[in-house]
């Protein structure tokens, strides 16, 4: 029983500490360096990089519960950003 309570408490604590919020998304600005974004959001849930015609690009996603932040970096700078949150009850 103690293990179950500890597990539930840890999960709730992690959810409460999520950096995937509308507030943090608002701090991300076009042209911001990737390292600045990582300082705000932490490590992404997933990330993939490509290089086309000498231009490098990375797409990173941060996911927590029903919220997701997606950012595309071109040359290490924010080019596109999106915040999605599922409506309540979905």
Dump the DSSP string for 4-71. HHHHHHHHHHHHHT-S-SHHHHHH--TT-BHHHHHHHH-S-SEEEEEEETTEEEEEEEEEETTEEEEE
**For 55-80, how does the pLDDT look when each residue is reduced to its tens digit (9 = 90+)?**
889 999 999 999 999 999 999 999 99
How sure is the predictor about 12, in pLDDT bands with cuts at 50, 70 and 90?
A: very low
Give the global pTM.
0.75
The fold of the 19-85 domain, in CATH, is Beta-lactamase Inhibitory Protein; Chain:B, domain 1 (3.30.1450)
Tell me the torsion sign for CA atoms 37, 32, 74, 70.
positive
pLDDT at 13 over 60: no
Q: Where are the domains of the chain?
A: 19-85
pLDDT at 41 over 60: yes
């Amino acid at each position: 029983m103690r293990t179950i309570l500890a597990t539930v408490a840890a999960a709730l604590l992690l959810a409460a500490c999520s950096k995937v919020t509308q507030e943090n998304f608002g701090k991300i600005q076009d042209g911001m360096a990737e390292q600045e974004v990582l300082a705000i959001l932490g490590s992404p849930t997933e990330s993939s990089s490509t290089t086309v015609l000498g231009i490098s690009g990375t797409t990173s996603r941060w996911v927590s519960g029903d919220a997701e932040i997606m950012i595309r970096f071109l040359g290490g700078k924010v080019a596109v950003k999106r915040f999605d949150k599922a409506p309540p009850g979905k």
